[in-house]
Amino acid sequence: MSLLVVGSVAFDAVETPFGKCEKMLGGSGSHFSISASFFTEVQIVGVVGGDFGPEDKEILDSHNIDTSDLETVSDGKTFRWYGRYDYDLNVAHTLNTELNVFADFKPKLSDKSKSARLVFLGNIQPDLQREVREQVPGAELVALDTMNLWIDIARESLLKTIKGVDVVIINDAEARQLTEIPNLMKAARTILSWGPKALIVKRGEYGAALFTDDNYFAIPAYPLESVFDPTGAGDTFAGGFMGYLSSQPKLDDAAMRRAMIFGSVMASFNVEEFGTARVQRLTHDEINDRFRTFKQMTHFDEIPFERALVSSR
C-alpha cells in the first residue's frame, strides 16, 4: 500500500467569475497527494522554497503524507502560478508563471521512495519523468501525466518516456495533439501502440474514458450545480484513481473501473472551492456517498429488446 508521486508543489493565485484567491496551495504533487491520502500511504517528491512555511507543510502532514523527500531550498522561492478562468471553466488562462526553485528541480528519491509499489509521474519535464521511472524498476504500476507544453517542445523525449510506463493520463485535447489524430478512438489506439497498458482521457465536465487493448470504459462527470475553481481537478482525479488502486491487492480491469469512479468523485469535490480547501476536509463517508450516487447514475437493467409486432388493418 505505498504510492509515490513526483510533481510540483506550488502557490497558486486564481480568479474565476465566482471569486478570487491570492495565494493557495497548488501544484500537481499537492493536489494528487492530498486526494490519494484518503486511500493509501503517499510519499511526495518535490521542491519548495523558504517561503513554504510550517502552516503550508502542515496541510500535507495532517493527511499523513510522507514529506521526507520534499526538498526545501531555504534561500529560494516556491513555484507560483497565476491564472484566470472565464465562464468556460474548461479553459485556464495563464497570467504569469514563476518557476523559481522548480526551474532547477532534480528529483531525489530515498530508498523508501524507490521501493514504492505504485508511482505517479506528475506533469514535469519528460526527461525527469524518465529518470524517476528508471529508479523504480520494481514498481507494479507507473502512470504519468503531461501537458501541451511538453508535447510542443519535448515530444520525442515524451514519446520515449511513455514507452516505459503502464498508464498515461491526459485530456482529450492533449491526446489529439500528441498523436495528430482528431478522432479520439484512433488517437487512443495509437498511444496504446506505443507501449502503455492503459490510457485515461480526461474530458472535464463530460467525464473520463479508460482505453485498453481489450476494453473501453467511459463515465460521466458528477453533476454539480456550482463549479467554483477547476484548478488541480485533473491531478485530484489522478490521486483518487491511483490512491484507490494502491489500496487494492489486484490491479485488474474491475479495479481500474472502480478507480475511475473514485477519481471522478475526488475531482468533483475539488472544484467546489478554491485550491485544495474542499478536499482537505473531506470525510470517507462523503466520498463513499458520492461513489454510491455515481453507481446509481450509471446503472441500468439488462432487459433484452423485443421487437413489437404491429398488425396492419
DSSP state of 100: G
Sorted by sequence, the CB contacts under 8 Å of residue 254 that are 6+ apart come out as none
**pLDDT value at residue 310:** 59
Residue 262 lies in a domain: yes
pLDDT digits (tens, 9 = 90+) for 159-177: 999 999 999 999 999 999 9
Residue 172 lies in a domain: yes
Burial class (CB in 10 A: 0-12, 13-18, 19+), 98: middle
Task: Please tell me the total count of domains within the chain.
Answer: 1
Residue 61 placed within a domain: yes
Contact 47, 10 (CB under 8 A): no
Q: Average pLDDT for residues 190-198, to the nearest whole number? A: 98
Structural domain contains residue 217: yes
pLDDT tens per residue across span 220-270 = 999 998 888 999 999 999 999 999 999 999 999 999 999 999 999 999 999
Residue 310 lies in a domain: no
3-class SS at 181? coil
The answer on pLDDT for 304 being more than 80 is no
Instruction: Write down the pTM of the prediction.
Output: 0.94
- Whether 309 is in a domain gets the answer no
- 167 lies in some domain: yes
The predicted model gives 192-211 an average pLDDT of 95
For 30, 44, 300, 306, the CA distances from 239, given in Å and listed in that order, are 10, 12, 28, 44
Q: Is the pLDDT of residue 205 over 90?
A: no
The larger pLDDT score, comparing residue 154 to residue 311, is at 154
Whether 63 shows a pLDDT value over 90: the answer reads yes
Q: What is the pLDDT of residue 302?
A: 76
Q: What's the CATH code of the domain at 233? A: 3.40.1190.20
Confirm whether 227 is domain-assigned.
yes
Q: Which domain holds residue 208?
A: 2-297
Question: CA-CA distances (angstroms) from residue 46 to 104, 176, 267?
Answer: 11, 29, 22
